[in-house]
Structure formats: structure tokens, C-alpha cells
């Protein structure tokens, strides 16, 4: 081999090494820091607050945006860098009775040209805009771990700097001493395209006694508190940290709302810190919590129970709104019943967008009729100008 050729080969090898180094992610890792637990000194809640009627302040979209499925719900919308399809919507459940995933919740994806025009992912870069539900394929399914072997659901997604960040509920079975226990937790995942996901190595939120005071699968209810589930993920730009509100089992309540933060890396389970849970919830009887921060103020929506069956059993649960100036001391404002009373409207999810110079809050929800309880077969949304929302809560 000539000396010139040898030098050329060495140069090419060096060039390849330097080029590969340039591709290495040089983003500095965020350091985690523990926070002091903020004391909750004020909460305004009770039947008289929850029973205030707020429906007239919201405009309801004319017709459902998705329909015809077996049991899908929790419709979460984010806006992305895509001129043709600027919206993505994540939801979960069981798409149709003959699905190979039936019996296990999975997470699905749709893309939209607008909030009323959607195409659902069908695998292999194909999409369906005709409500041909059997074609729909999930983008996330259960794994084979004790905390992730049954259900993946309740997706809460933030699209930030070209990456999707998801917090989601995970359920698994853990067998100990001949007994099968149900394990509930919250996991995280990231994706560049919303289709291919990398899950966290373990739960990012799990009750510290989940494996000690476990839920015997033979029993209808857990024996104690715990069962962290149904996350609402927020990236707080002002405070430069991740926040999750979630619900959990608390004796004497239906499901109550807890709270956790992360000042470090989203995907590192050790960086998540639960601040409010156990006997110290932010709101009691506040299932499926959804939280959004707008103009420095927090708004939370829940499908609360306790409204009775006078409008049909599907309306015992109704969407209730609260707000907070700090994210942990809440004032309940009232309830919203957006559809005809034949429909129960549950699992509220929020989306905020600037439209013609005005900021709009959209609230998506899942719809169920009495004979289908507890399966959801349609999805729709209502909306309100943020200026009107602020005036509304300030009036109470």
C-alpha cells in the first residue's frame, strides 16, 4: 500500500470519527433538585360550588369529531410543526370488538388539518379519515413488566422543541406468594414522530407502598390509598420544570388529585418528586384531573361524581371546573353539561390556541349514552375565549 493511500485512509477514518462526534447529543443534562412541599392553606370546594351551572358560557362544536368506535376516550390535542397537518390527537382504549388488543387499553393517534377534520393512524404510514375503525392501529401498547403488562392509557402529551413528551397510566400484574396483585403507576415516554415511542425505564410516579399494600386482583377495590394514575402533564415555561397532576385512591373519597414535579430530566424516574398525595390531596373527589396554565393562572377540569341520576346515570359524573393562582390551592367554580342530557360527557382534556388574535381554550370530552355505560363511542369539544374565561372565574 502506498504511503499516500495510507495517509488518505487515515484522514477518512479521522473525518468519520469527527463527524460522528458532531452528531452526539451535546445538550447538557438538567440537574434535579428537591423542593419543599408547599402547604395547602386554602381550598374552596363543596356541593354548592360544584353545582353552579356554567354551560351557557361555552360554545359546543356542532357534531362529534370522532365516532363509531367501541370504547375510546381521553382525547388529547397538541399543535406541531406540520403545515399540512398541524394537529395531533392522542386517545386510548379499545377500538373495536374484533381487535387483537381487545381487553387491554392501548394508545392511538390521529392527525388533523383542523380540530374538526381528523385522520387516524393505521400503521405503515397509512391513515383513515372515513371512521373505518378496524383499520386503526395503536402507537403504544402494554409491555411485559409487572407495572406495565395490562393497560397503557390516559395519554397526556406536551410537544416541545420538536419532541413529544407523554405521561400515561400503566397497569400491570405482579404475582407474589401465589396472589396476583394489580399495580397502578404513571410512566413517561418520548417520541420524535408521535408514532415510535421510548418508554421510561420504570414508573415516574408510583405510590411508595404499591408493592407492600397491593391491590389483590380478586378484590373489587384497593385496600388502601395509592394507585397513582391519570396524569395531566404540563411543561411550566415560567418555572422551567415539569409538573404532573394525577388522581389516586384515598379512603373516604372517590379519587383525589395529587401533584408531582420534576426539575431535572423528564425520562429519569428518580427526578420526579411527589409533593401532594396520601392524606394531603389538592382536591378530594377529583377524578381524571386535567390542568392547564394560561396567563399565569391554573385551570383544572374533572368529571366529578355525585350529581345523581335525574338526568340518567350517564350524568352522575359531570365536568367541573376549578382554578388556582399557584397550582395547589384551588377554588371550584361550577359544572358544565355541554351535550344533550342523553349523553354523559366525561374525561375533559384541554387545548389552547391563538385564533384571529384571540386566545381560545378548547375542552375535548368523551361521550357515552346510558345503554353503553361505561363505553365511550364519540368525541367532541366545547370552547371559550380566554378573556371570557378569566372574567367568568373573577366573577366568583
Pair 339, 361: CB distance under 8 Å: no
Alpha helices in 226-280 (DSSP H): none
Pair 291, 232: CB distance under 8 Å: yes
Residue 175 has pLDDT above 80, yes or no: yes
Residue 22 has pLDDT above 60, yes or no: no
- pLDDT score at 3: 53
Residue 370 has pLDDT above 60, yes or no: yes
| DSSP per-residue codes, 130-156 | S--GGG---SB---SBTTBSSEEEEEE
Q: What is the mean pLDDT of the chain?
A: 93
pLDDT level of residue 30 (50, 70, 90 thresholds) = confident
Give strand pairing partners of 156.
167
pLDDT digits (tens, 9 = 90+) for 282-309: 999 999 999 999 999 999 999 999 999 9
DSSP symbol at 104: S
SS3 278: coil
| DSSP per-residue codes, 291-342 | EEEETTEEEEEEEE--S-STT-GGGSSEEEEEEESSSSSEEEEEEE--S-TT
- pLDDT score at 32: 87
pLDDT level of residue 31 (50, 70, 90 thresholds) = confident
What number of other Cβ atoms are within 10 A of residue 96's Cβ? 17
| Residue 144 in grid coordinates | 411485559
pLDDT level of residue 224 (50, 70, 90 thresholds) = confident
Residue 104 has pLDDT above 60, yes or no: yes
* Residue 48 burial class via C-beta count within 10 angstroms: exposed 0-12, middle 13-18, buried 19 and up: exposed
- pLDDT score at 323: 98
How close are the terminal C-alpha atoms of the chain, in Å?
A: 86
207-216, 309-318, 372-381, range with the lowest pLDDT: 207-216
Instruction: Return the domain boundaries, the chain.
Output: 40-67+288-396
pTM: 0.93
Q: How far apart are CA 144 and CA 228, in angstroms?
A: 19
Residue in 215, 210, 222 with CA at minimum distance from that of residue 274 = 210
- pLDDT score at 276: 98
Q: How far apart are CA 187 and CA 205, in angstroms?
A: 7
pLDDT digits (tens, 9 = 90+) for 321-344: 999 999 999 999 999 999 999 999
SS3 percent helix, strand, coil of the chain, rounded to 5, is 10, 45, 45
Q: Cis peptide before 374, with omega less than 30 degrees from 0? A: yes
Distance of CA 55 to the CA centre of its chain: 24
Q: How far apart are CA 131 and CA 129, in angstroms?
A: 6
Residue 27 has pLDDT above 70, yes or no: no
pLDDT digits (tens, 9 = 90+) for 197-217: 999 999 999 999 999 888 999
Cell numbers 401465589 correspond to what residue?
178
- pLDDT score at 213: 85
pLDDT digits (tens, 9 = 90+) for 8-17: 445 554 544 4
- pLDDT score at 228: 97
pLDDT digits (tens, 9 = 90+) for 51-91: 999 999 999 999 999 999 999 999 999 999 999 999 999 99
- Segment 212-226 mean pLDDT: 88
Q: Is the model more confident about 17 or about 232? A: 232
Residue 314 has pLDDT above 90, yes or no: yes
Q: Who's near 19: CB < 8 A, 6+ residues apart? A: none
- In this structure, what are the phi and psi dihedrals at residue 310, rounded to the nearest 5 degrees? -65, -25
pLDDT digits (tens, 9 = 90+) for 111-130: 999 999 999 999 999 999 99
Amino acid at each position: 500500500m502506498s504511503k499516500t493511500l495510507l495517509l488518505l485512509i487515515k484522514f477518512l477514518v479521522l473525518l468519520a470519527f469527527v463527524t460522528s462526534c458532531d452528531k452526539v447529543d451535546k445538550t447538557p443534562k438538567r440537574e434535579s433538585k428537591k423542593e419543599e412541599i408547599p402547604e395547602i392553606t386554602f381550598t374552596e370546594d363543596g356541593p354548592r360550588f360544584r353545582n353552579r351551572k356554567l354551560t351557557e358560557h361555552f360554545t359546543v362544536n356542532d357534531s362529534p369529531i370522532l365516532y363509531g368506535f367501541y370504547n375510546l376516550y381521553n382525547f388529547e390535542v397538541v399543535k406541531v410543526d406540520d403545515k399540512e397537518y398541524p394537529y395531533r390527537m392522542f386517545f386510548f382504549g379499545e377500538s373495536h370488538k374484533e381487535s387483537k388488543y381487545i381487553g387491554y387499553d392501548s394508545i392511538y393517534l390521529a392527525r388533523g388539518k383542523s380540530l374538526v377534520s381528523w385522520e387516524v393512524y393505521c400503521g405503515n404510514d397509512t391513515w383513515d379519515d372515513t371512521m373505518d375503525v378496524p383499520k386503526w392501529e395503536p402507537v403504544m401498547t402494554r409491555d411485559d413488566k409487572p407495572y406495565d403488562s395490562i393497560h397503557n392509557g390516559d395519554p397526556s402529551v406536551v410537544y416541545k422543541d420538536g419532541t413529544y413528551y407523554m405521561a400515561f397510566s400503566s397497569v400491570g400484574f405482579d404475582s407474589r406468594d401465589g396472589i396476583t396483585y394489580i399495580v397502578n403507576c404513571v410512566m413517561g415516554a418520548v417520541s420524535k414522530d408521535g408514532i415510535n415511542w421510548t418508554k421510561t425505564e420504570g414508573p415516574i410516579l408510583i405510590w411508595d407502598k404499591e408493592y407492600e399494600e397491593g391491590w389483590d386482583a380478586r378484590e373489587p377495590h384497593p385496600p388502601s390509598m395509592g394507585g397513582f394514575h391519570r396524569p395531566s402533564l404540563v411543561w411550566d415555561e415560567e418555572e422551567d420544570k415539569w409538573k404532573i397532576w394525577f388522581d389516586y385512591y384515598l379512603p373516604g373519597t372517590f379519587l383525589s388529585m395529587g401533584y408531582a414535579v420534576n426539575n431535572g430530566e423528564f425520562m429519569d424516574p428518580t427526578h420526579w418528586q411527589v409533593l401532594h398525595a396520601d392524606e394531603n390531596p389538592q382536591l378530594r373527589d377529583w377524578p381524571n384531573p386535567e390542568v392547564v396554565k394560561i396567563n399565569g393562572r391554573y385551570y383544572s377540569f374533572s368529571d366529578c361524581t355525585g350529581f345523581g341520576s335525574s338526568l340518567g346515570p350517564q350524568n352522575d359524573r359531570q365536568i367541573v371546573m376549578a382554578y388556582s393562582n399557584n397550582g395547589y390551592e384551588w377554588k371550584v367554580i361550577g359544572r358544565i353539561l355541554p351535550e344533550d342530557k342523553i349523553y354523559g360527557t366525561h374525561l375533559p382534556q384541554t387545548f389552547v390556541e391563538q385564533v384571529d388574535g384571540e386566545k381560545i381554550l378548547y375542552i375535548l370530552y368523551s361521550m357515552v349514552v346510558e345503554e353503553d355505560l361505561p363505553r365511550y363511542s364519540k368525541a367532541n369539544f366545547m370552547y371559550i375565549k380566554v378573556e371570557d374565561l378569566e372574567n367568568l372565574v373573577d366573577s366568583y
